[in-house]
A = this chain, B = another copy of it.
Amino acid sequence: MPTATTKGYLQLDRIPSEPIAPLISRRLVAGEKGMLVFWSMKAGAHAAAHHHPHEQIFWVLKGTMDFRLGDEKRTCRAGDMGVIPGGVEHEAWFPEDTEVLDVFSPPREDFLAGGPPAYMRKG
């Protein structure tokens, strides 16, 4: 489900939710320079270790995300955030149903093209 870069007004609940893996779906809002990704993770979801050149800032909206940023592990809950510079390896586990907003700068080209990244295929 390719997603276009957007301009103007949007409503989050009208953005199609794209199934990514059995336990993972996402909604995308992409500008030319930044991208917001609203993740819905079901209990048991896992984003395997990965890194990318894009800067990523996460904000946990609901639930629990066990996160590894480089070699520092933390349990993150609603209101917890993180700034992941480009190139830094990270990994995430979701022991319960969880919602997270990721902000990527620049936008993830692979997400605009649609489909799961390799590190989420097992979901």
Contacts and interface: CB of A to CB of B under 8 A. Distances in A.
Contacts of A83: 6-8, 10, 29-31
Given A81-B12, A83-B6, A32 B59 contact: no
Chain A interface bracket (under 10, 10 to 19, 20 to 34, 35 or more):
35 or more
A76 interface: yes
A22 interface: no
A74 interface: yes
A85 interface: yes
A12 B59 contact: yes
A50 B25 CA distance: 36
Given A9-B72, A31-B105, A32-B85, 20 more contacts: A6-B83, A7-B83, A8-B69, A8-B72, A8-B82, A9-B76, A9-B82, A10-B80, A11-B79, A12-B81, A30-B83, A31-B85, A32-B55, A33-B55, A33-B86, A34-B34, A34-B105, A36-B59, A36-B81, A36-B103
Interface of A: 6-13, 29-34, 36, 54-55, 57, 59, 69, 72, 74, 76, 79-86, 103-106
